[in-house]
Structure 1
Amino acid sequence: MKYSCPKCEFGLVIQKTFNKKFMITCSECGLQDIVDYAKNIDEVYLEFLARFDQGQTPDKKELNSQLKEEGIVRDKKEIEEMIGDNSPDPITKDILFSKKDYISLYKIIKAPEPEFGLSIDEMGLDDGIIQYLSKKNIAKFYKFQEDSILDIISGSNVIITAPTASGKTEAFAIPIIQKISKDSKSGTILAVFVYPTKALSRDQLPKIQEIAKSAGLSAAVFDGDTKQKERSEILDNPPHIVVTNFDVIHHHLMYRTRFASALSTVQYLIVDEAHVYSGIFGSNVHYIIKRLKRICKKIQFVAASATLDNAKEFCEQLFGEKMQLISGTGKKGETDFVMIFPSLRSQRALTIDLLEKLVTKKHKTMVFSNSHLNSELVAMQAKKKKIDIRVHRAGLMANYRNFVEKSFKEDRIMSISCTPTLELGIDVGNVDGVISSTIPVNRLMQRIGRAARKGQNGFAFLALGNDPISQYYKNHPDNYFEDVEKTYIDPKNPYVEEFHVLAMACDKPIVKHELSEHSEVIQRHIDQGRLILQENRYVPNYDSIKETINEYSIRGIGKSIDIFYNDKKIGERVLPMALEELHESAIYFLAGTRYKVKEFDYPQKQYAKLVSIPRDYPYYTKALTEEWPTIETVYEKRRAFGIEVFFCKLHIQKQVYGYVNIELGQEVTQGQKVLLDKPLEYDFITKGIVIHVPKPISQMESSENAEYVEASGYHATEHIIIEGSNMVTGGVSQDLGGISLGTSGLIFIYDGAIGGNGASKALYDRLEKAFERSLSIVKECPCNNESGCPRCTFSYRCGNNNEFLHKKASQEILQKINDGEITDVTEPTEGDKPLV
């Protein structure tokens, strides 16, 4: 059916609104109307025609009032009040007044003017360093740089927090190099600079080498990509400074290599991008630092980060040392910031529209997505608009990522669609605009820090999505800046502790009575034959531990599945996510191209073979999964309001049993579920919380299918608590999984990492706030659907395709929790269906 305007016969645009209504617009004569939800657009059009014939379509004033009342768009006056005395760029102004979206917030982000300190020749620095700074046109230090340099030279352990591109590298590299130059010994490694990725190490090496060379010192990268010839040269004639990562330090210490021996002379450990070492990765790094201390006489520690809210507390836990905090600012241009809620279109449509506006005006732009799939979909749909864009994400081959970085830096492409791989400080040159999906504010500021680094005006857009968090921030934008992500580690993670005590014995035999704080773990290793007592020292039984030390991952990730196309490796994906994305017949996105999985070999050979599909193929796939939890050990228990909560060790069994096809652009399921001939299975031990929530009795009594309402209410509640937890625990929901067990009322929320990562513990400690936020999310969502919607009960991580959800039952459950109803954790009911 052609949808023609009854007034002028021009074509109509029919858009679904965020609150499940339809907006009809004629761009020719200006006729507009809002029609209530119907099952298909034909019904919407017929309803609109009936309203027009009866003279019920609103005039412009009535429509604007309705749009404002329903939270679809803001009126002109509200936008003008937001702008105030500011003068937004014409691009920003066009977006603010477009009436295509709901503008949640507009502000100008202006960094405070940096405070200057002493001039470079007043600091007692080496003449060569002064000459280096003069060549860089640096005459004075910022005050935070001055403080950092003096404190590091005096021997303090220091944390430096300052924005991206504010001069942090100079603040820690200059004093370390100054100290080494006064006590340098050729052939001795004195300082280790650690970065979280190999790419960032190599990006920062030239600057470190240049400063080192000015003082007569040497620096080199030693990591997994260092060629054998270069390794031999480094080991035969060690540089004063080594740039590496914790993966390399861990491996070489444990296998007692020549590099491990060379590390025994280290006096300074510098850790940049310290905020990365959160969760399971940070818990492992804590122990690697502890192991490094065992083989070195004395180490001075320096940490740096642009985004660490609880910097002192976190770094003292990470390093196990008292630290001194120094904060600073740097010079950069003003940035127009807009928080936008896509009330009349999808988040991806909004993102591509913003990107097109910036790129058309020759503004280089980075688009940050929170998943591999979204980064690929943004690039694919942007290319249809003739936008010059490339994908940059983990899982792509390193040479391809390097090509994308270089092309963007050299202005050969105008935009990048990326995941958090480019949040870190890799130099990609001049950036004017940043568009980001919803993330905690710390990480948003890290992303925004990419823009306007050369002093030009910048653009930063937070494109909210169709999810509970976005709905909440649409209505409470000021809260966004208060919900700061807390970095966290769990040094008492038993899985991590057990492994690293074993690794310590591999690094260097453990003297009897050494490491008394780990005596129970040591005894357990002895009892199980993994450690042997020889001459009052504990040494590893390599026959018993070989498999353990070879397979352990400090980043809390499983093995990778290699991805092949035409017999050539083109990427990789870690387990268990690979099971969901690379099962047989899955549609897989890689570097902006879609493929179909022809063959998936797991668990034996662990590879996937891809084949091409037509460019106009209309679907991609989403896996269907099931999970089953078992409580192994209860560590702690308490009550949150009246709800009994267990914090415990859990055994999780996961299964991918099928998939559905999703239509590109429409983002709706098409056709029936497809079941795999042989389900894929994966299981692991982790930590998590268990609660038994109240029954939604009122909703059950008013329904003909009480069992369905009950189970669906529990499942929806599990979704909302996990999403709601993001705001009060600082973005941990991405590290959590969840299971509601049928009609038992039992909800399990667990750490996604093997052994645990501290995320569920953060939720356990703040559960009351998560319950309060969860109730706000479901109460404030305007949808009238029984199952809810993407802004309240749906979750993009749902393994049940967002089926078995009941909004009102969940609201009743959360209201009872917040009112203090008392429940106790019970045993699972046999036959309960797990909903994830």
Structure 2
Amino acid sequence: MPPTPRPQDNLLDRLLAAHGRPDRVTHVRRIPARRGRPTEWPEWARREVVDAFRAAGIDHPWEHQARAASAAASGRSVVLATGTASGKSMAYLLPVLTALLEGTRAPNGRGATALYLSPTKALAADQLRAVDALRAAETGLDAVRTATYDGDTPAEVRRWVRAHAAYVLTNPDMLHRSLLPAHRAWSAYLKALKYIVIDECHTYRGVFGSHVAQVLRRLRRICRRYGADPVFVLASATVSDPAAAAARLIGSEPADVEEVTDDASPRGGLTFALWEPPLTDFKGERGAPVRRTATAEAADLLGDLVLDGVRTVAFVRSRRGAEVVRVMARDQLERVDPGLADQVATYRAGYLPEERRDLEQALHDGRLRGVAATTALELGVDISGLDAVLIAGYPGTRASLWQQAGRAGRAGQEALAVLIARDDPLDTFLVHHPEALFDRPVEATVLDPDNPYVLAPHLCAAAAELPLEEDDLPLFGPVAAPLLPGLVKRGLLRRRTTGWYWTSPERATDLTDIRGAAGAAVRVVEDGTGRVLGTVDGSAAYSAVHTGAVYLHQGETYLVRELVLDDAVALVRRANPDWTTSAREKTDIRVLDEVRSEAWGRARLCFGSVEVTSRVVSYQRRRILTGQILGEHRLDLPTQSLRTRAVWWTVTPEQVAEASIDEADLPGAAHAAEHASIGLLPLFATCDRWDIGGVSTALHPDTGLPTVFVYDGHPGGAGFAERAYATAPRWLRATREAIAACECESGCPSCVQSPKCGNGNHPLDKGGAVRLLGGLLEGVG
């Protein structure tokens, strides 16, 4: 029998009372409860739809829902940017379901259709459950045929969806690879397309967002050819300048998109705590103290909350980290109350479809009391009744932070959110500078549809769908026309008097993976049984499932016996080590093109194109609880190459000498400055530190000077380095201040050590980095 939940008003106090924890909380912010502002149902809404919502317990819409729904119903594209659990789904379902019931006929006689796009399969499946629940209310909505269309949909069901479904729920990947290339089979559906709903549109940023923006332009072009001009309805977490962001995503003008940002929904109070794990008795590299990992701390807190009857989700930064949290929390509960251990699970990408569906249902009906999850659960999957959210490591943006924190308290009750700092410069800075989280607006959404590395393959895909004509080019942006001669020269397109044609027998959509993954997914197979446990993205396989790596799946631990590259298979066997593994890379960089630069006195700041070559050369084994290094093992894997964008700065030998940095210490000073600047960049660009990389050198062959590079970790760039260039004075001053303010003597994970350093955090010179950055910034006007 599950424990009885207790009142939430003293939940944080109860957590702090255990194990001498009060000194771990650096700040507590109380977000007060908010009363809702209801309004009347719009007159244009069909009675069947309104009655279905009322049957679901929704007696009236909130003001922001009615405003957004009415804008869409009037034929105007709209973006609704309000908080988590503010009822965005109802705002777009009201006009969509009304239109589908109206029976508006396309020229082919088919009734109106609508398309729903979600960034994840889980969210689309959850939305289908919500719509089917409305259809089951016996108000007349059952006449609307709904279906998901994704990679798990069987072939025979796909044929039915194309022929009969009015409301199709899918994702940008299926739109790119399946629906648009086969648009002729979808012609009846597309001719009648009235609405396109883009849910969680703030997630479409960086390279992925740029790809989705071009996929949507291809969709608009095909719709026009079939005589349809659908209205876009976008739903988003709170973002900066939502109308401009939405317009850039769909290829429109900001004035053509109405934004609704005034959240009129009620909200329970939220207690938000910033938490710094304690130092351990272990010493790390160069004798630096080792702080307890955020993963271990999150597991302890998750176990305590589950034991206390509190429904909790712990968000963890990586798939492996989520599995580790689950294992540790279950072990803790097993010792106290074995019956509770089965109420803790992991939710992450890479699971098989049937596993995902079972977990989603268990989350939905409350059978699970604690979940360790990756960002796969950050989005709007309806998990009612959550009391607490643990966030193991800053998720990279304030928008994501509030999205995750908002998962608790969705039923209106008091809730708790805890951000647990990882031992790195950014997390340490944030838990000691709460104003950077609570008193600043959320970030702008950064995407660049005109990135030629993104645009070129989509022009090819568009030409394969229908020959490209001159009139189509403005839709794809100003870079489209200049790119076409190069595509013709490469033999990808053929120019004829009527336009540009794709003439290859290959699929044009295979030219790019919109998620940015390199190579085919690697299957993880249990050696001896042949059982497929899951998959790993091809781009991550060298570091995640190399020979000797620890792989976790549903709480079970495996060791990779062999990574078979030719077959894209990682063979694993069951194991139970008390250590984990982390890969080490060797990276080189060369300048291809300097796009912009400016003098900072004798120093220089630059932005441009670079080529990065990297190779996983070894891996380290580390204790799970402490991060203590147990050993290092060499690997022999292929080199990978990346052409991207970077920001870099140089200093002169005279500046190095004036900073009292010896020649032997310069590599460590530059390396430490590189690490810290990467750690702080997410405060100034909408990125995660794992989206960016860096290289530092005492003498770079292309500049002839000491140089530090920070580059986008995506082909063609993602806009992060460009943003870094634009904000460089503030960014690098904050970097210097963060290093100088750290209390350690010679450098630690809180200032200059990096969790993803390819050189094992060696060499590093904390003091030298402060002086080097000081010299660099002297010339800033």
Q: Structure 1 residue 781 and structure 2 residue 736: aligned?
A: no
Question: For residue 79 of structure 1, what is the aligned residue in structure 2?
Answer: none
- Deviation, 1:639, is 4.5
Superposed CA deviations along residues 508-533 of structure 1, whole A, max 9, x for unmatched, are: 11124641532111122222222223
Aligned CA distance change for structure 1 residues 820 and 539 (closer, same or farther; 3 Å): same
Q: CA deviation at 1:717?
A: 0.8
2:770 pairs, out of 811, 816, 819, with 811
TM alignment of 1:527-546, pairs within 5 A = 527-543=489-505, 546=506
Q: Which residue of 1 aligns with 2:314?
A: 367
| The one of 271, 296, 299 aligned to 1:336 | 271
* Aligned-partner residue type, residue 176 of structure 2: H
Corresponding position of 1:827: none
Asked if the contact 2:311/2:370 (under 8 Å) is kept, the reply is yes
The aligned counterpart of 2:703 is: none
Cα distance in structure 2, aligned partners of 1:692 and 1:457: 51
- Superposition deviation, residue 210 in structure 1: 5.2
* Paired residues for 1:111-510 under 5 Å: 111-118=33-40, 120=41, 123-185=43-105, 187-188=110-111, 190-209=113-132, 211=134, 214=141, 216-235=143-162, 237-252=163-178, 254-261=180-187, 262-297=189-224, 298-321=229-252, 322-327=256-261, 328-344=263-279, 346=292, 347-386=294-333, 388=341, 389-437=344-392, 438-439=394-395, 440-481=397-438, 482=440, 484-510=442-468
How many residues are matched? 722
Indicate which of 706, 714, 736 corresponds to 2:670.
Answer: 714
The aligned runs of 1:786-805 (5 Å cut-off) are 788-805=747-764
Task: Report the CA distance shift for 1:153/1:512 in structure 2 as closer, same or farther (over 3 A).
Answer: closer
Structure 2 Cα separation of the partners of residues 702 and 761 of structure 1: 31
Deviation track 1:381-427 (CA, whole Å, cap 9, x = no partner) reads 22221263211112222322332332333333321111111001122
Which piece of structure 1 moves more, 174-183 or 269-278?
174-183
Shift of 1:254: 5.0
- How far is the alpha carbon of 1:636 from its aligned partner? 2.9
1:270-313 deviation per Cα after TM superposition (whole angstroms, max 9, x unaligned): 10110111111110111111111112232211100123233122
Match for 2:329: what amino acid?
A
SS of the residue corresponding to residue 638 of structure 2 reads strand
Q: Cα RMSD over matched residues?
A: 2.5
CA-to-aligned-CA distance 1:120-150 (integer Å, 9 cap, x gap): 3x52322212321331233321111111122
What per-residue deviation string (whole Å, max 9, x for no partner) do you get for residues 667-705 of structure 1? 11123x3222x33322222222232245596789978xx
- 2:693 match: secondary structure: strand
With over 3 angstroms needed to count, the CA separation of the structure-2 counterparts of 1:731 and 1:618, relative to structure 1, is same
CA contact (8 A) 2:674 2:708 kept: yes
Tell whether the 8 Å contact from 2:149 to 2:170 is kept in structure 1 after alignment. yes
1:679 to 1:555, Cα distance in 2 relative to 1, 3 A: closer
The 1:532–1:735 alpha-carbon spacing in structure 2 relative to 1, beyond 3 Å, is: same
Cα 1:635/1:215, change in 2 over 3 Å:
farther
CA shift, 1:231, in A, is: 1.5
**CA distance in structure 2 between the partners assigned to 1:290 and 1:277 by the alignment:** 14
Inter-partner Cα distance in structure 2 for 1:170 and 1:425: 13
Cα drift, residue 743 of structure 1? 4.1
For 2:558 and 2:113, the matched residues in 1 are separated by: 49
Preserved contact between residue 303 and residue 333 of structure 2 (Cα < 8 Å): no
- Structure 2 gap segments, 5+ residues each: 1-6, 281-291, 335-340, 701-705
Partner Cα separation in structure 2 for residue 724 and residue 668 of structure 1 = 25
Once residues 395 and 183 of structure 1 are traced to their aligned partners in structure 2, the CA distance between those partners, rounded to angstroms, is: 40
Counterparts of 1:264 and 1:493, CA distance in 2: 31
Q: Do the aligned partners of 1:280 and 1:556 also contact (CA within 8 Å) in 2?
A: yes
1:760 aligns to what?
Answer: 721
1:699 touches 1:808 (CA, 8 Å); kept in 2? no
**Compared CA separation, residues 782 and 524, structure 1 to 2 (3 A):** same
2:712 to 751, 762, 787: 751
Q: Partners in 1 of 2:509 and 2:56 — Cα distance?
A: 46
Other-structure match for 2:578: 618
> What is the percent sequence identity of the aligned residues?
25
Instruction: Give the counterpart letter for 2:131 in structure 1.
Output: I
> 1:606 matched to which residue of 2?
568
- Take 2:236 and 2:80, find their aligned partners in 1: how far apart are those partners? 6
Q: What amino acid is aligned across from residue 750 of structure 2 in structure 1?
A: R
CA apart distance, 1:608 = 0.7
Matched, 1:110 2:32: yes
User: What is the CA distance between 1:188 and its match in structure 2?
Assistant: 4.8
Q: Aligned partners of 1:374, 1:693: CA distance in 2, in Å? A: 39
Q: 1:485–1:731: 8 Å Cα contact kept in structure 2?
A: no
Q: Evaluate the alpha carbon distance shift between residue 268 and residue 513 of structure 1 in structure 2; reply closer, same or farther with a 3 A threshold.
A: closer
Distance in structure 1 (CA, Å) of the matches to 2:201 and 2:515 = 14
Give the 3 Å change call, closer, same or farther, for CA 701–724 of structure 1 in structure 2.
closer
CA shift in 2, pair 1:341/1:694, >3 Å: farther
Q: 1:701 to 1:460 in 2, by over 3 A?
A: closer
Q: Is the 8 A contact 1:209 1:220 kept in 2?
A: no
Deviations 1:78-129 (A, max 9, x none): xxxxxxxxx98333124456455332211222342221222x3x52322212
Map 1:723-742 → 2, pairs under 5 A: 723-742=679-698
The structure-2 alpha-carbon separation of the partners of 1:639 and 1:275, relative to structure 1 and needing over 3 Å to count, comes to farther
Shift of 1:204: 0.4
Looking at structure 1, the residues matched to 600 and 732 of structure 2 have their Cα atoms a distance apart, in angstroms, of 9
Aligned position for 1:831: none
1:821 CA drift (Å) = 6.9
1:489-526 alpha-carbon deviations (Å, 9 max, x no partner)? 01221111111111111121112464153211112222
Residue 59 of structure 1 aligns with which residue? Answer: none
- CA drift at 1:641: 7.5
CA distance in 2, matches of 1:210, 1:414: 24
Relative contact order: is structure 1 or structure 2 higher (C-alpha 8 Å, sep ≥ 6)?
2
Alpha-carbon distance in structure 2 between the residues aligned to 1:814 and 1:208: 56
The corresponding residue for 2:623 is: 663
The answer (yes or no) to whether the contact 1:279–1:757 under 8 Å persists in 2 is yes
2:247 aligned counterpart, secondary structure? helix
Q: Once structures 1 and 2 are overlaid, which stretch shifts more, 343-352 or 762-771?
A: 343-352
Which one-letter code corresponds to 2:23 in the other structure? D
Task: State the Cα deviation string for residues 128-187 of structure 1 (Å, max 9, x = none).
Answer: 123213312333211111111221111111011222222111111111222343352364
Q: Are residues 631 and 344 of structure 1, via their aligned partners in 2, closer, same or farther at CA, if it must alter by over 3 Å?
A: closer
TM-score (norm 1): 0.82
Contact persistence 2:100–2:112 (CA under 8 A): no
Shift of 1:240: 2.2
Pair 1:295–1:513, CA change in 2 (3 A): closer
Please tell me the residue identity of whatever aligns with 1:219: T
Q: Do the aligned partners of residues 696 and 376 (structure 1) sit closer, same or farther apart at CA in structure 2, a change above 3 Å counting?
A: farther
Partner of 1:569: 532
Cα pair distance change 1:318/1:748, threshold 3 Å: same
